[in-house]
Amino acid sequence: MLKSIKVKDYMTTKLITFRPDEDIFGAIASLQTNRISGAPVIDGNGQLVGVLTEGDCLTAIIKDIYYTEAGGHVSDYMSTEVATISPEDDIVDIAVEFQKQRRKRFPVLEDGELVGQISQRDILRAVIDITQHPGHG
């Protein structure tokens, strides 16, 4: 049953991350190269300090186009109010949170450490796995 599946079973653990002092256009290029829509931002101690999304990057591009203020750092555009979840949370509960909060991803923290990220796509993968293999789970 889907309710018994934990976030840790489907979260991504090999993450693309950014540092606050990284060049914003370098980060945009990295999102494009890696075909991802956002990534966690971590400080020098590996602590989660924000998330950079495609929407944040659009803000940087618009600022460049309209105000010719090219560049800046990831910290100038990242979202700092980040909702996080636990690896022990149930997939169904997180699916509900995706709908409530209108987010595409949640960083996963365990004991304050970033251990992964789960996206809407990961939730859909869990559903497909369970519906194609009903005896497993």
Ramachandran category for residue 46: left, alpha or beta (phi over 0 → left; psi -120 to 50 → alpha): left
Q: How high is the pLDDT of residue 29?
A: 95
- DSSP run (H or E) holding 105: strand 105-110
Which of 70-92 are b and which e, b meaning 16 or more Cβ less than 10 Å from the residue's Cβ? Answer: eeebbbebbeeebeebebebebb
Check residue 60 and give its pLDDT.
Answer: 86
Pairwise CA distance, residues 81 & 100, whole Å: 16
Res 132: pLDDT: 79
pLDDT at 65: 73
Query: To 5 degrees, how large is the angle CA 108–CA 87–CA 114?
Result: 30
Find where tokens 């293999």 sit.
133
> Which amino acid is located at 3 in the chain?
K
Q: Give me 110's structure tokens.
A: 């365990």
Domains identified in the chain and CATH numbers: 2-132 (3.10.580.10)
**Looking at residue 135, what is its pLDDT?**
56
pLDDT tens by residue, the chain, 137 residues: 556 789 999 999 999 999 999 999 999 999 999 999 899 999 999 899 999 999 999 988 887 777 766 678 999 999 998 999 999 999 989 999 998 988 888 999 999 899 999 999 999 988 888 777 655 54
Query: Which residue matches tokens 């370098």?
Result: 26
Q: Which residues are CB-neighbours of 47 under 8 A, at least 6 positions away?
A: 112, 114
What confidence score (pLDDT) does residue 137 get? 47
Q: Is 61 helix (H, G, I), strand (E, B) or coil?
A: helix
What per-residue confidence (pLDDT) applies to 75?
95
